[in-house]
Each structure stands twice: as C-alpha cells, then as structure tokens.
Structure 1
C-alpha cells in the first residue's frame, strides 16, 4: 500500500509541475486545453491510487459487468442445466425406459457427487495455474458432450458411468467462477455480481422445466427424456466458442481494455484484498486454510444448507406431483418457484454489498428454508404445501451462495482462499452423496424423511452462522487493539505478506 501511495503522490507532483509550467509559458485557455487532452488520452496516467471511488473504477467495473459477468452467468446456467436435468428426465420416464428398480435412481443422483466433491478443492487452485480461458472452455465442452451422450445410455450401469464423468467436469465450474470473480472484483463488489450468476442458475432450473415440457410434446422415435439430454447437451456445446474467444488467461490481457484501463487494472491489484497476481502456489497457504477453524465451521454450515439445495433441485418436480399436478405441469410449476428464488437472492446480494454484511442474510435464508420445509411437511392441503415450496424458495440459494462469498472474501492470499473455498465446497457438496439416500424411493413422492432431515439441518446451519459471526467479530477486535497499541507506542504495525488476512490491517466482513 505504501508503494502505491508513493506512486500516486509522484503522479500528482509530476502533473502539478507540468501544469505550472504551462501556466507560466502560456495562457489560461492553453492550460485548460492541455488538461482536457490529458483526460481524453487513453495513454494518460491517473493521479491517485485505484480505489472504490476512483473515476476509473466505475469505468473498468462497467466493462467487466458487460463482457465478463454474462459469460460467467451463462457458464453456470449451462452447468446447472446439465447437472439437474436428471430430475426432469425422471419425470419424463427415465426410470421406466432403463428399468431402474429400488433406489437405483437415487444412486445415480448420489454417484454424481462422488467425483464432484473430489474435484471441488482442485478446481479452485487449478484456475490460476491453467488459466480461466482454457479451464472454463475445456470443462464446458466436456460436460456438454457428456450430457448429449446421456441420451443413448441403455441401462443402470451406463447411467452411473456418465453421471460420474459429468460430476468430474462440472465440479470445477462453481469454484472457478467464484475465484474468477474474486480476481475481477473487490470483495465489496462481487456479491451483486454473484447474484447475477445465481440468477442464471435459477433461470436454468426454470428453463430446464420449459425444455422438459417442450420435449414431452415431440412425437419422434426417441423418448422425451432422451430429447431433454440432446437439446441441453447441444446448447452447452454451442456456447463453447464464446469462452475460447471471449476470455483471457490474465484479466489485464482481455480484448476490451484500452491502454489506460489495462494499466489501471494492473495497479488496481495492489489495492485489492482479494487478489495479488504475484501469489504463487505454496503448501504453507494450503496449511493455513486447513488449520483455520473458520474454514471448517463454514464448511459444516454449507453441508447443512446444501442438503436442501441438492435434494430439492433433483426431487422438487417429483414432490410437486404429489400435490395433484401431472408430470408435465409439475415441471412447469418449478418455473415460478426458481424465478422467485432468483429475485430474492438478487435483492439480498445488492443490499449485502451496499452495507458490507453477510451473516444476517444467511441466517434469515436458513429460517425461511426451515419454515417452508415445515409447511410442506405439516400440511396435507395441496395449496398450503405449494405455498411452503415458495417460502422455501426465498432462501434456498441465498444461504448457500452467501456462505461461500463470506468465506471467500475473508481470505486474502489466492491459494489460501482457493483451498478454503475448496474445502467448503468439498464438505458442502458431500451432502449430495447423502441427499440421494435420504430422499428414498419408498418415500416417493412426499419424501417426509428427507424433508424432515433438511429442516433440522437448516436450523443447525443458522446456529453455525451465528458462531462464525462472533469468531470474526472477536478477531477484528483483537486486530484493532493491536493497531491501537502500536500507534500508542509509535511502533510500526506488523505485516507479513504470507499471513494475508491474518495481518492486523485486514478487516473481516461480518
């Protein structure tokens, strides 16, 4: 930071001297013209260090919003579409066509997460090593091709295999997007950007219902569930060129920057608490994340939260059929549910970024989910149970996403943050292994056992979030006390680059 201040000060002095010379040698109008030419010259330098209030900040953020966020949204849209389509395929007759018996369908849901949880911690670290362009494009091509190929599976064994492969390539998408946004945006800026990403996921779930409805009307030689996989796999593959051409491996090398903006991006890194391009992979950073108690408390909370998210994503169309809807109409009914989820998360993310607080939104979302689950469980009236689904939808993505953003924003070094996020997602995604077993075939279509377990876990997740809040609050007070003591003794505030967020100058978000 000191280097930046000196650099910024040098720029101010240099310009003041330049303007002073112009005033002496020329007239006022000539001076004004010189200033205007500096302002419009793309190669002109700026006078102050990059910051949230710098005029260039809004310019570069606007360009990232325009060119990069849509790519992240579409990538998560496609990933979510191909991940959750097995639920719509089941309603469209998957089990009957493949002669699935007992809990074989649940096993196919579960096995997806066997590879999914293994690659979660790896994906976040690989993004910086391989580069966003190659990693995201490659994964998109692979999971799109696998989804397309699922249309021709012949039996239970084939379905298990493609679900394992799908999990391997889709597991890297969520951590990659999360880490990429932390490279592009300051931690006070990226919740609202992630809201757009999750909005895309919600729309994806709705869009999947519409595709399923459309495929059910096709009178062809294949089954409706096969057309679902064909259409959705082709959509994913069709978008691959946009990532190959639209992304750069280093943010400052993106095609849409001017020379001045590119320099600002490079200098901006030094004022961000979430990314330093000089960060190199070190096992010490991995160890710092592993031994941090906050990492594990957050991870267990995400496990509790994701049990509902993973279970409902796959089994919601089946639950809705128990309310008297036909299989086709049940798919359509998921559309307004996920749309409400998207709108709620967008509103929460906007307010969260504005006031720079995360924990109250996680707790509130957990309470909303628990309330909705209680309504669905406790009533036999179809209208009341459907209302419970909508109450559940208010929080189903807010708590999961805010949990990850909170942890990510409170870790400084890239590889410490990547490891902490990877552990978080590893533990959270492992709930997918359990969800396929607690939503048992014999409980179909109401799934009382699965819903009751999810209800209890949502309450526990809210409690763990409160624990995290007090942990961060206590650490901030300790840091502030250390800074105050150093100031009183006129001693330098200790700082170690390797300690990143553990340095006294780093303030945790609540």
Structure 2
C-alpha cells in the first residue's frame, strides 16, 4: 500500500474521532487557525452587523414618524415586522441548499447587495403596501445569511473550535444594537428628509451596499482552495475537517440526507431550546424602542436608550468568550434563562421605570450571551455537512417564528403594559430551559452507551461513514 493510500485509510479509521496531534502539528494548527480567524471572522462580523441594523431599524422607524406618515393601522404595525419574518422563514432552507451549490463568496455578495438595496428603497416607500413589499424583499434576501454563515463557519473549524467563533460572529448583533441606537438617534435629528425615519433607511442601506461589494473581494470559499495556507497547513486543516464532519466542497445534499434532518426529533427539540432566547432578540430589536417609550420616556430618549441592553450583552459576551468552547451547553441555559426570566418579570410587572429598564438590560445581556450557544449546539451535533445545512435552516426557521408572532403583541392597542407579549416570552423561556435539560440528559446517555458499546465500522468507506451522520458509533454529542 502506497503512502497516499495509507493516509486515506488513517482518515477513514478516525472519522468522528479527535485526532491526536504531535507537538509539531499542534503548532501548525494554531498557526492556521489564527490565519482563518483573521481573514474570516472580520468579514462575517461586518456583514452580521449590517444585517442586524437593516432588519431591526424598523423599530426606530415606528417611533419616529413611520406610523404617522404611512397611516399604519394596528394590523399594519404588526405586518411590517411579521411579513418580513414569513418570507425569511420560507426562504431559509432553500437558501442553504443554494449556498451548497454556489461558491460562498458569490452567494453572500449577491444577497447582501440585494437586501441593502431593499433597505435603501424603504426610505422612499410612500404607502403601507409599498413599505411591506420592501420588508418582504429584505426577508427573502436576508434568509440566506444567518443560517448560511452558521453552516459556513464549520467549513473551516472543527466542532471543538466552533463555539467561540460562533460567539464572535453573534457578537455583531449586540454591537449593532449598542451603536445602532445612537446612530439612529443622530440620523433622526438630521434634515435629509421630511420624515425623521427616512434618514435611517437611506444612510444604513447605503452603508450596507458598500459592505456587500467589498464581500466579493475579501471572502474565501473553502480551506482547500484558499491561497493563504502553506502546504502543510492546508494538509492538516483538510485532514481535521474531514475527520470532524467532512469537507463542504465534497459533500452534496441528497434526498436521503434531507429526510434524515427533517425527521430528526432532536433538531426540533433544539429549536424549542433556541426559541425563547430568539424571542428575546425580537423584543430587543423590533419592539425595544416601543417598550422603552412605554416606560414613560420620549421617542428621542427611547431611540438612544435602545442600545443600552445590547451594550450589557456585549460586556457579558466578552466575559463569557473564553468559556464557550469548553462549556456544557445545557448547563449554560440553566444559568442564563433564569436570569433572563427575572429581567423579563421586572420589565413586565414593576411600575418604576428605572427598575423596568434594569430588567430589560438584564434580559438583553443574558439573551445575547445564550443565542450563540443554540446555533452552535445544532451545528455541532448534525454529524455531517449535508445534514448540518438542513438542520441549521430548520433551527433558524422555527426560532424565527418569534419574529412573526411577537410583534402583534406589541402594537398600540396593547399599550402601555403589553402583558400578553411579556407572558408569552416568559412561557417560551421556561420551555427553552426544560428542553435544554432534557437534551443534555439524553445526549449524555447516548455518549455513555457508545463509550460502553464500541462498534467497528472501519470496513466502511469514508463516504459511507459520513452518511451515518450523528448515528455513527464514534460520534459524540456536544452536551
């Protein structure tokens, strides 16, 4: 057997097992991971920052002239957010399938440029129907972004390296909320347009158009085709990714793999885990300014204050960053969700404005710190590239339903207390932590069974082993 065949056989034998690296290989690993971090993470963070601004600025527009100019009814106020979400949900799974068939650089450049043009258009929409059309277009094009990046990052990182990188990616969300409030506050004070909110869509849409064009020149597709690795770095990264969950460029989404994802109950349970925190993001992003104004603050003050809960999230995420890769995910929910519940209860049922705002900051901080955990959990436990592409789309689709139902609970007819919206949030947070504990127990039991009952599958080819997904006897679930 020649050397190449021996190397291939070693890879097959080590599918779903952690490779033991020599000291020299460990130094190579550290070197290539730093290269990936420097070249990939700034790009995806920049784009997620823009995505968060462009989908969430409707909350600022609501309290700065949008309702009055377009004469939005209570139904329209819910529709401008919810209709976006419907189309976002519909197109998530198809978008991830397209990503698998396109080079990432082409795909992300296209969707970023298209949604930014749609945001730009909102500044000029002159009726409720035309404005909702613009939001529909943003939903269609943004549908491919977050689940796409969640699927794209494991092209480059093993599941042991993924959690901290996913947290860096999601750090862009609270940063955008933190600086988005002051930016929007400054923009609504300008005289560019007759109505204050128009400046927000005009300027932020223009910024994102530039980011979309830059993406084409700075994003990389796959580790085996990029130019910044040395040969020894490329060989090691390919070997490690192949034995982890497979190379994206070699995988295809078959009907069998699609069906495996669609019929896996664990993905739906993970989606319930992620729903509660994602609903918290909806409260912060879409209706945060409305909630703050209901505390008795002016529209201008509410616009600026909307960034403070996100700032708390940034601080807590930075503090938690060193622990993401080695934490047990289910335990993280048992810490973050109870704190989130306390914050939600203070915001909902206390009368003093300062205490209510503190509760909102507590909820915002714990929401931001736990959202990357859900995304990482589902991406790490898929078992293959193909199943991960579908699994992440299912996860983001189900958790994204929050953006459809919640806005209708915060329209003016429920002001100023919005009890129905707060109670819904509390119930979903409780379901999240219950499901997290259940899944942690289940995964631990499955791992223990496989440890005690090893099975030899070395006679199977690499492709046959990877097609087993998380049912491979050597696969171990992230807890």
On whether the aligned pair clears a TM of 0.5, the verdict is yes
1:5 CA displacement: 11
Q: Residues 221, 293 of structure 1: CA spacing in aligned structure 2 closer, same or farther, 3 A cutoff?
A: closer
User: What is the CA-CA distance between 1:289 and the residue it aligns to?
Assistant: 1.2
Count of residue pairs brought into register by the alignment: 464
2:116–2:208 Cα contact (<8 Å) kept: yes
**Residue in 2 aligned with 1:443?**
414
Q: 1:206 to 1:129 in 2, by over 3 A?
A: same
Provide the C-alpha distance between the structure 1 equivalents of 2:379 and 2:22, rounded to a whole number of angstroms. 22
What is the aligned counterpart of 2:331 among 360, 376, 383?
Answer: 360
* Residues 238 and 276 of structure 1: CA distance in aligned 2, closer, same or farther (over 3 Å): closer
Cα distance change of structure 1 residues 307 and 473 upon mapping to structure 2, 3 Å threshold: same
Residue matched to 1:7: 7
1:154 aligns with 2:140: no
Give the C-alpha shift of residue 336 in structure 1: 2.4
Q: Could you say which residue in structure 1 is the equivalent of 2:351? A: 380
Q: Which residue in 1 is equivalent to 2:476?
A: 507
Mapped contact 1:494–1:503 kept (Cα < 8 A)? no
Shift of 1:286: 1.1
Alignment match, 1:237: 209
**Which stretch has the larger CA shift, 156-165 or 265-274?**
265-274
For the residue of structure 2 that corresponds to 1:252, the secondary structure is coil
Residue equivalent to 1:38: none
**Counterparts of 2:157 and 2:23 in 1: how far apart (Å)?**
11
Question: What CA deviation, in whole Å up to 9, does each residue of 1:318-347 have, x standing for no partner?
Answer: 111122322112121122210111222333
Structure 2: distance between partners of 1:341 and 1:109: 23
Question: Which of these residues, 287, 293, 309, is aligned with residue 315 of structure 1?
Answer: 287
RCO (CA 8 Å, sep 6+): is it higher in 1 or 2? 2
Alignment match, 1:421: 392
* TM-score w.r.t. length of structure 2: 0.91
Match of 1:213 among 155, 168, 185: 185
Q: Is the 8 A contact 1:89 1:212 kept in 2?
A: no
> Which residue does the alignment assign to 1:284?
256
Note if contact 2:238-2:247 (Cα within 8 Å) is conserved in structure 1: no
Match in the other structure for 1:34:
none
- Of residues 439, 461, 468, the one that matches 2:432 is 461
Determine whether 1:351 maps to 2:323: yes
Pair 8,129 (structure 1): closer, same or farther in 2 beyond 3 Å: closer
- 1:16 match: none
1:4 and 1:358 map into 2 onto residues whose CA distance is 39
For residues 83 and 75 of structure 2, the distance between their equivalents in structure 1, rounded to whole angstroms, comes to: 12
Q: Which moved more, 1:339-348 or 1:187-196?
A: 339-348
Partner of 1:96: 68
Q: How does 1:200-349 map to 2 (within 5 A)?
A: 200-273=172-245, 275=247, 277-349=249-321
8 Å CA contact 2:29–2:233 kept in 1: the answer is no
- For structure 2, the 5+ residue unaligned runs are 11-19
Tell me the SS of whatever aligns to 2:189: coil
Write out aligned runs for 1:470-509 (5 A). 470-483=441-454, 496-509=465-478
Secondary structure of the residue that 2:467 maps to in structure 1? helix
Whether contact under 8 Å (1:182, 1:274) holds in the other structure is no
Range 230-239 or range 191-200, more displaced: 191-200
Distance verdict in 2 for CA 1:73–1:442, change over 3 Å: same
Which is further off, 202-211 or 148-157? 202-211
| Cα distance, 1:493 vs structure 2 | 6.6
Q: Distance in 2 between matches of 1:159 and 1:492?
A: 56
- Whether the 8 Å CA contact 1:124–1:422 is kept in 2: the answer is yes
**C-alpha distance 406-267 of structure 1, shift in aligned 2 (>3 A):** same
1:74 aligns with 2:43: no
Deviates more, 1:222-231 or 1:304-313: 304-313
Distance 2:77 2:156 in 1: 40
User: Quick check: 1:247–1:254 contact (8 Å CA) kept in 2?
Assistant: no
> Equivalent residue of 1:93, what SS?
helix
TM-score (norm 1): 0.86
Native 8 Å contact 1:377 1:451 kept in 2 = yes
State the Cα distance separating 1:76 from its structure 2 match: 0.6
Q: Which residue of 1 aligns with 2:364?
A: 393
CA distance in 2, matches of 1:459, 1:228: 36
CA shift digits 1:447-466 (9 cap, x unpaired): 22101110111011100111
* Aligned 8 A contact 2:155 2:222 in 1: no
Contact 1:188 1:356 in 2 (8 A): no
Preserved contact between residue 158 and residue 241 of structure 2 (Cα < 8 Å): no
Verify: 1:177 aligned to 2:149, yes or no.
yes
Deviations 1:263-286 (A, max 9, x none): 333333333236454222211111
